[in-house]
Structure 1
């Protein structure tokens, strides 16, 4: 009892420090933590800056974004490849996105390998690549003149429901579910991705005075259910289809969903959060992430907690606590509103420590394993003070993404050194490819003369090197300038599932 009281006092003190804006003094550097960023392509929010830019400039801008977040020790990019019934890759099921090529449905030959290149560049810099797809949103507005003849609004108008200022796929139609599943399969099978990712766009957010007119579909497929339960069952059915698809095709690929931050309000359901949100997942978007989690159909959740820590009606701290108390058997990361920094009516976002404080508060909850930020331009382009805080404190050292429960296993192979050499500039290591493990990365750790190798310490990470498929042997080059006072290496494998092998210790050649 005394021990518990002391723990509560310590936690209370920590939260007080965080609330007062001194989060940057906290020294906590986890080895495993998800550090992700959404790269939004719809209406060119983050990248490309324009669909009319030359492909050379688009590639340069993409690399700049990756390198900025690599420098910040992020480890995952969530890249939007389908936003409004379009595609950022050659597809038989959707037209080229105008946000990439300038005109929907048209692309030069150079674009055909664009996505493959994007994934490779991300992997080379140590990022997981999560393919972000918006399944149900068909258009961004009602202007059909900018749509390709191959867009589903034109090919299959019977699939569409006009609501507010956009068109949406009718989630209840079996042919729509089949079509959207094939779209996911096209990306899953053809590209070396690490995850399929959906965000919060299921049934649309409520528009006052508008009715989502799926009455005809409900009459045909409702089967005596309440319309609310029926709509939820349509989304649930699709989520399960994607889970089954991934399990059958590439079981090492994760399936992650980023729902709206509030499941239900406590005023409606005693199991809900202590919030007063105008809309919720369960009641308005007809999405039930707790059901998907309980059935183990997803690998991670990223609830979008886009409010300040102590917001009066929908607070980050209360929602963080609720999600950690109601999440199990999946990885849980928090979605953070970087776009609100110095740009929101809630003046708490004027405090440059708000994001750092949210990261620290997230770390104070054992079940919360990282953060994802919306969106890419909001930190690196406009908020240098926040970048410096993260770079010097919260994200001072690298971290590896945590492995979701479904994907955890023991890596039986350990690295075997075939050769080691040194020249005037570099150490050169040659590692034998293992027989039983498909390797995604090789990790290199280094210890100074007065310390022991400990691969659990992120401070000792020297390098994370991507291993391309079909590689026959692994060549690692480490600049001598990076090894001052270091006399011992440790090398590990990371497999396609994200699991790390036991280390092999290598003495540095003289």
Structure 2
């Protein structure tokens, strides 16, 4: 997804110096996400050969680490290269999960009576920690290399060889074929229909990054499907527009509250080629090389959020994080804007700015200072886990001390939802079980530390728990949420992020 970004820039100059930004107080709503890359086992699982119990334990370590940092969204790659981390009629099981493509996980490791599977288990565990689960798909990468003999017979390379284009050392789906676009929309629809996900997420790989002296051979499709007078670039961008529109509609047709997000490469266009572009000198751009136009997708209302991958340091001359954040803030319309940050570069990059402790913190502060920006996403999940504990503690103390709510959906449903009625409170050891009449329209319930009378709840430090609703009408408050308080207030969050008026929950001190 990102390892080649530094090669895509004209790195002729490095950062000299930058001012240190002061931490800005935590907002009440903020998107705090992390990408879990599964392709070639970057983040998880550590190996497809690992026993399922180890894979489960490693996934929980990722979640627990970010829960301790008060993050609220896991963006997990469930399709890497024509494969799937779940049972699908459109793709074989991923080798990165089971060690062999097409091989399913051992069903005895799950509670099949409840319809549990690896992905269902992952979603449930993510929700148990108060986090959203965003299913990340790479739409058009068909293989990760040219070793096609290792592909399953059910892989599209073998089922639909006419869909494939060889480019560099990989095969790609041909985005210009209408049947390929419909196929991808069907994959999205299947995923949304069958799993309790919060969002579908596409990364930056649309048409592949340009390789010098290589030709992406889609001339037959171009000559067949182009409009009269349409040049190759506009035709390819039209194909990406069609993919985004069809994917968005497949999601909303099934579950309107499930969000759709895209994380494009951080440079739309350079100002040198378009006055509307950013003041950068990127060697490749989203518009001209990947044939993606996220500005149009936002204008059309096909996205719920966008996460430009701005993985460069604050004042890198050829692609300043500062300038690019300002550019995206100015050009993002009708869509929530989150910033993609690259902690994988910390003390691991030719840009010396990444050797400074303040580089990532300054980026977080700069994002919070801009009212158009509503959060951050880190690539990749293991990057912070590999940093010194002191650095992680510094981030938590100064930037992520308290839990926060996720941003409202960019296109929320403002119809009032039916508030559940509390029917009973029961003690279960050191926990408390709350029973409601129904929780059909509720995504989560948030609990705040309170006094006997209702207090303002705008400060994040008052939040003690956020419980994502499952299939039952009961919730269990853990002991840590009850510690040191006689009174809690609770509020319902609907599927679009709206919060109800809080109510007091009276508890006796145990």
TM-score, normalised relative to structure 2: 0.91
Instruction: Tell me the CA shift for residue 453 of structure 1.
Output: 2.5
Instruction: Tell me the CA shift for residue 149 of structure 1.
Output: 1.5
1:148 aligns to what?
Answer: 152
Q: Out of 474-483 and 29-38, give the one that drifted further.
A: 474-483
1:494 aligns to what?
Answer: 493
Which segments of 5 or more consecutive residues in structure 1 lack a partner in the other structure? 1-17
1:218 aligns to what?
Answer: 222
Distance across 1 between alignment mates of 2:271 and 2:144: 33
Distance across 1 between alignment mates of 2:481 and 2:134: 33
Which residue, 113, 134, 138 being the options, matches 1:134?
A: 138
1:447 aligns to what?
Answer: 450
Matched, 1:234 2:271: no
Instruction: Tell me the CA shift for residue 146 of structure 1.
Output: 1.5
Aligned runs of 1:34-433 on 2, under 5 Å?
Answer: 34-110=31-107, 113-224=117-228, 225-409=230-414, 411-414=416-419, 416-420=421-425, 426=430, 428=432, 430-433=434-437
Distance across 1 between alignment mates of 2:431 and 2:312: 48
Distance across 1 between alignment mates of 2:481 and 2:317: 51
Q: Out of 177-186 and 42-51, give the one that drifted further.
A: 177-186
Q: 1:509 to 1:191 in 2, by over 3 A?
A: same
Q: 1:103 to 1:429 in 2, by over 3 A?
A: closer
Instruction: Tell me the CA shift for residue 204 of structure 1.
Output: 0.4
Is the contact made by 2:343 and 2:384 (CA closer than 8 Å) also made in structure 1? Answer: yes
Q: 1:94 to 1:21 in 2, by over 3 A?
A: same
Q: 1:457 to 1:413 in 2, by over 3 A?
A: farther
Q: Out of 197-206 and 177-186, give the one that drifted further.
A: 177-186
Is the contact made by 2:184 and 2:247 (CA closer than 8 Å) also made in structure 1? Answer: no
1:475 aligns to what?
Answer: 475
Instruction: Tell me the CA shift for residue 444 of structure 1.
Output: 0.7
Distance across 2 between alignment mates of 1:500 and 1:194: 17
Q: 1:178 to 1:138 in 2, by over 3 A?
A: same
Distance across 2 between alignment mates of 1:462 and 1:333: 25
1:8 aligns to what?
Answer: none
Distance across 2 between alignment mates of 1:64 and 1:288: 37
Q: 1:390 to 1:213 in 2, by over 3 A?
A: same
1:400-430 CA-to-partner distances (Å, cap 9, x unmatched) read 110222125264444544344668x636352
TM-score, normalised relative to structure 1: 0.91
Is the contact made by 2:188 and 2:251 (CA closer than 8 Å) also made in structure 1? Answer: no
SS across alignment from 1:130: strand
Is the contact made by 2:469 and 2:475 (CA closer than 8 Å) also made in structure 1? Answer: no
Distance across 2 between alignment mates of 1:245 and 1:168: 22
Which structure shows the bigger proportion of residues in helix conformation? 1
Instruction: Tell me the CA shift for residue 29 of structure 1.
Output: 1.2
Distance across 2 between alignment mates of 1:420 and 1:176: 52
Distance across 1 between alignment mates of 2:102 and 2:432: 47
Q: 1:422 to 1:116 in 2, by over 3 A?
A: closer
1:19-51 CA-to-partner distances (Å, cap 9, x unmatched) read 44353xx24011100000000000000000000
SS across alignment from 1:285: coil
Matched, 1:30 2:35: no
Distance across 2 between alignment mates of 1:448 and 1:64: 35
Distance across 1 between alignment mates of 2:274 and 2:24: 38
**CA RMSD after TM alignment:** 2.0
SS across alignment from 2:260: strand
Is the contact made by 1:138 and 1:166 (CA closer than 8 Å) also made in structure 2? Answer: yes
Number of residue equivalences: 485
Is the contact made by 1:417 and 1:429 (CA closer than 8 Å) also made in structure 2? Answer: no
Instruction: Tell me the CA shift for residue 494 of structure 1.
Output: 1.3
Is the contact made by 2:266 and 2:310 (CA closer than 8 Å) also made in structure 1? Answer: yes
1:459 aligns to what?
Answer: 461
Distance across 1 between alignment mates of 2:20 and 2:356: 8
SS across alignment from 2:70: coil
The runs of at least 4 aligned residues of structure 1 exceeding 6 Å deviation read none
Is the contact made by 1:415 and 1:504 (CA closer than 8 Å) also made in structure 2? Answer: no
Instruction: Tell me the CA shift for residue 175 of structure 1.
Output: 1.2
Q: 1:179 to 1:410 in 2, by over 3 A?
A: closer
Is the contact made by 1:414 and 1:492 (CA closer than 8 Å) also made in structure 2? Answer: no
Distance across 1 between alignment mates of 2:167 and 2:216: 6
Q: 1:480 to 1:271 in 2, by over 3 A?
A: closer
